[in-house]
Amino acid sequence: MVSLPLAHDLLWGMTPAQLPADAPQWAIDALRAGQPVVVRRALSADGQIAVGLRGVSREQRLAGFMAIDSIAHRVSPEALCHVDSARDLPALRALKQLRPMLDDCGWVWGVSGSVGFELASGFAAMHAASDLDLILRTPQWLARNQARKLVAFFDQAECRVDLQLQTPFGAVALREWAGASSRVLLKNARQACLVSDPWNPQEQAA
């Protein structure tokens, strides 16, 4: 691997043998069927990467660890920006509607969540009430007023759009950064903490 996988990347190659001994049958079946796992934010031992598995229902979620040497294939959220599907669902129509603006916004963006999972793997994960989960890689500061404009634009979409801003120090929800609170929740592999500036998080809440 040229670089370590990032949160929301989809990975193929994990085997049932890497699951905990008490792993549910659905998780074993998912890996045997060839489903990918998604990279999550958590600390892991050397040679391991923290991942999550998903089943057919919302309740079927399992946190685990995958050996980095087992990674056979990797798909990032930004690789899915222009992947289309033959299915006709609100989340897919919203993606098509928002794509031109996102392409022109000046930031690298990507598709995550159930939409990204299905577009990358072909395994059905979306339904009529699915949200559209997106990421925006923002290595430089994004003004809160600009965040509010993005939220207003997303609220015109056919389904709820949840976007995470990926800063160098972790992720923050766009809707939170667009809100009125002086501090927002910044999540990274080590912790989740309240900060006033996700791009300069040295001053944290006690």
pLDDT score of 1 more than 70: no
What is the tens place of the pLDDT at every residue in 2-25?
578 999 999 999 999 999 999 999
Rounded Cα distance, 116 and 105, in Å: 20
What is the tens place of the pLDDT at every residue in 188-206?
988 899 999 999 987 554 4
Residue at 127: amino acid letter: H
What is the tens place of the pLDDT at every residue in 21-60?
999 999 999 999 999 999 999 999 999 999 999 988 888 9
Domain boundaries, the chain: 10-75, 77-195
* Sheet arrangement for strand 10-12: 61-67, 48-54, 37-39, 10-12, 73-75
User: Which pLDDT belongs to residue 103?
Assistant: 96
The secondary structure of residue 161, as a DSSP letter, is: E
pTM reported for the whole predicted model: 0.91
Catalytic residues: 131, 133
